[in-house]
Amino acid sequence: MSRPRLPETAFSRRVDGALKRLGALASWLWLALLAVIVLNVTLRYAFGQGRVELEELQWHLYALGFLTALALGVSLDDHVRVDLLHARLSLRHQAWVELYGLVGLLLPFLLLVLGYAIPFVMSAWAAGEISQAPGGLPYRWAIKLALPLAFALLTLAACARLSRASALLFAWPRPLIPTPSSKERP
């Protein structure tokens, strides 16, 4: 069953399209993660050689995949809703819930995380932080950089959703007329 959707705006179409392309690219991370896991298990159980750097690489790939998927989930409106009444509301009421949730909860949280994540990364970079495990991966700041980048993408996705809710409720920004390629498939 197809559910009604918020109208697209020029901003949401650009952001959602970019996030879909990034999501398609990031989906290859899961294949890379699987390969690293198989290699690590084979080395450990067939050859008796556990590799710390492979274990850490697994964590890093999983984190990158998960963090990238957050923004895509918001963009596609495929995230988990805890709201039991949401499906029973009209599209207009859903847009109001979306607007209040984004402005009152999600965006302030994202700005708070970004405010703390950026100094977190800068501190790791300035210190030349590396893994504490012997044989672990260097450049710990690189994986920590994924946190503010992912939350910046999530902020963009939330702003795109906000523009869609605003387009329905206030006709600003101007809603786009659906194109044949953007219509839902049955």
Regarding pTM above 0.85, the answer is yes
Per-residue pLDDT, 142: 94
**Average pLDDT score over residue span 23-36:** 97
What is the 3-state secondary structure of 46-115? HHCCCCHHHHHHHHHHHHHHHHHHHHHHHHHCCCCCCCCCHHHCCHHHHHHHHHHHHHHHHHHHHHHHHH
Per-residue pLDDT, 62: 97
